[in-house]
């Protein structure tokens, strides 16, 4: 009987590279430090209140990108990682701030040429007449190339109820660039989650190009108070116990009203409170009661409770009582 030769399959290219580089070690931690990625993400961790799931995803994405860079250096090349993203959540939850930091991280890791973010809305991309949209959209893309294009409330690009709308032209140009020039431009879409979901259902080409979907949760009451105190501290103001309680009461009432925009609404409320404080202190000074430095720094409960939010609550009670 003739012995048949044993068949040995040829190793694949991937297996060959693994065999030749398998004993090499790579210092991922050093690369992470050298690029300054940890520093950039630490800024987010320390500066932004809450948003734990968002911060976790950003750390995961950064780690993935570092690993992909090291794989490429070892000859384990492949397609460039898909980097287009979608940030969903209510207004004032930090989407723009995180987009700016993500542009920084991508640049530090060598995935973009420029530490650069261009933030736009529909009005920056869509024209009002035939032949107007393409030049506007291409000009925005030209400005953003090499960095990140952030499109806020991206769902407004698609208005199927208006047959003469030119948003679809902008969408077609964006999709082409997102596919053909994905090595030189990262696009981040942002907006309310339910509206973005509807937008993706109507425009599957966008959804197929988005690699990372990150949802930004609303802030809790405690987080909103912490945000307020950080904002005040930054401007050298502060609450006392009474005004802090008043602001908590304000937030509880404001959260029950429509159009609450998280940190943005907190900032607006504090701006109005500071205006009331300035008016109160100025009138007292004119009456011969010059303020102390402590009084200039302190917001009083009266500065908070003069808000229309409390007036609206009083009016509701009066109406319910038949006055």
231: CATH: 1.10.8.60
How does residue 164 score in pLDDT terms, banded at 50, 70 and 90? confident
Give the separation between CA 184 and CA 136, rounded to whole angstroms. Answer: 19
Nearest to 81 by CA among 189, 207, 213, 210: 210
The domain of 161 spans 81-216
CA torsion, points 168, 170, 176, 179, in degrees to nearest 10?
A: -100
Q: What's the average model confidence in pLDDT over 60-80?
A: 79
| Count of residues in the chain | 323
Of 34 and 160, the one with more pLDDT? 160
Give the separation between CA 305 and CA 92, rounded to whole angstroms. Answer: 23
Q: Which of 123-127, 197-201, 273-277 has maximum average pLDDT? A: 273-277
How does residue 23 score in pLDDT terms, banded at 50, 70 and 90? low
b (16+ CB within 10 A) / e for 231-264:
bbeeeebebeeebbebbbbbbeebeeeeebebbe
Look at residues 163, 197, 216 and tell me which one is the last residue of a structural domain: 216
Please tell me the pTM assigned to this model: 0.82
Instruction: Examine residue 252 and state whether it is found in any structural domain, yes or no.
Output: yes
Task: Give me the pLDDT at residue 295, please.
Answer: 95
Q: What's the average model confidence in pLDDT over 65-85?
A: 80
How does residue 181 score in pLDDT terms, banded at 50, 70 and 90? very high
Q: DSSP string spanning 24-52?
A: ----HHHHHHHHTHHHHHHHHHHHS-S-H
The verdict on 149 and 254 lying in the same domain is: no
CB 309 within 8 A of CB 249: no
Task: Give me the pLDDT at residue 28, please.
Answer: 64
The number of domains in the chain is 2
Choose the weakest-confidence range: 10-14, 24-28, 241-245: 10-14
Task: Give me the pLDDT at residue 319, please.
Answer: 41
The verdict on 155 and 254 lying in the same domain is: no
SS3 state of residue 265 = helix
Instruction: Examine residue 46 and state whether it is found in any structural domain, yes or no.
Output: no
Task: Give me the pLDDT at residue 227, please.
Answer: 96
CB 49 within 8 A of CB 230: yes
Inform me whether the pLDDT recorded for 187 exceeds 90.
yes
The verdict on 153 and 238 lying in the same domain is: no
SS3 state of residue 163 = coil
Judged on CB neighbours under 10 Å (0-12, 13-18, 19+), 71 is middle
The verdict on 208 and 113 lying in the same domain is: yes
Instruction: Examine residue 54 and state whether it is found in any structural domain, yes or no.
Output: no
Instruction: Examine residue 30 and state whether it is found in any structural domain, yes or no.
Output: no
Of 109 and 148, the one with more pLDDT? 148
96: CATH: 3.40.50.300
How does residue 205 score in pLDDT terms, banded at 50, 70 and 90? confident
Task: Give me the pLDDT at residue 255, please.
Answer: 94
How does residue 144 score in pLDDT terms, banded at 50, 70 and 90? very high
Helices (H), the chain: 13-21, 28-35, 37-47, 52-73, 95-108, 122-125, 133-144, 167-180, 193-202, 204-209, 221-234, 241-254, 262-286, 293-297, 301-305, 308-320
CB 93 within 8 A of CB 222: no
Instruction: Examine residue 291 and state whether it is found in any structural domain, yes or no.
Output: yes
């Amino acid at each position: 009987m003739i012995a048949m030769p044993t068949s040995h399959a040829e190793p694949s290219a991937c297996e060959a590279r693994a065999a030749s580089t398998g004993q090499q070690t790579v210092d991922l931690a050093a690369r992470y430090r050298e690029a300054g990625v940890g520093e950039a993400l630490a800024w987010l961790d320390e500066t932004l209140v809450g948003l734990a799931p968002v911060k976790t995803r950003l750390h995961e994405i950064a780690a993935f990108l570092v690993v992909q860079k090291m794989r490429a250096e070892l000859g384990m090349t492949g397609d460039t990682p898909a980097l287009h993203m979608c940030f969903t959540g209510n207004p004032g939850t930090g989407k723009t701030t995180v987009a700016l930091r993500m542009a920084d991280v991508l640049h530090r890791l060598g995935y973009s040429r420029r530490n650069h973010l261009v933030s736009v809305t529909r009005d920056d991309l869509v024209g009002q007449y035939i032949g107007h949209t393409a030049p506007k959209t291409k000009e925005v893309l030209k400005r953003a190339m090499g960095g990140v294009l952030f499109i806020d409330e991206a769902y407004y690009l698609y208005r199927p109820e208006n047959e003469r709308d030119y948003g679809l032209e902008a969408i077609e140009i964006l999709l082409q660039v997102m596919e053909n020039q994905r090595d030189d431009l990262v696009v981040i879409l942002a907006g309310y989650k339910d509206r973005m979901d509807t937008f993706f259902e109507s425009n599957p080409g966008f959804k197929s190009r988005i690699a990372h979907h990150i949802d930004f949760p609303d802030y809790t009451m405690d987080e909103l108070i912490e945000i307020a105190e950080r904002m005040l501290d930054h401007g050298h103001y502060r609450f006392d116990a009474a005004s802090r309680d008043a602001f908590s009461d304000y937030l509880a009432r404001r959260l029950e009203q429509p159009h609450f925009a998280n940190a943005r609404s907190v900032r607006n409320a504090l701006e109005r409170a500071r205006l009331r404080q300035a008016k109160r202190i100025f009138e007292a000074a004119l009456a011969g009661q010059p303020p102390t430095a402590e009084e200039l720094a302190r917001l009083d409960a009266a500065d908070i409770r003069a808000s229309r939010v409390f007036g609206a609550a009083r009016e509701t009670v009066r109406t319910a009582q038949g006055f």
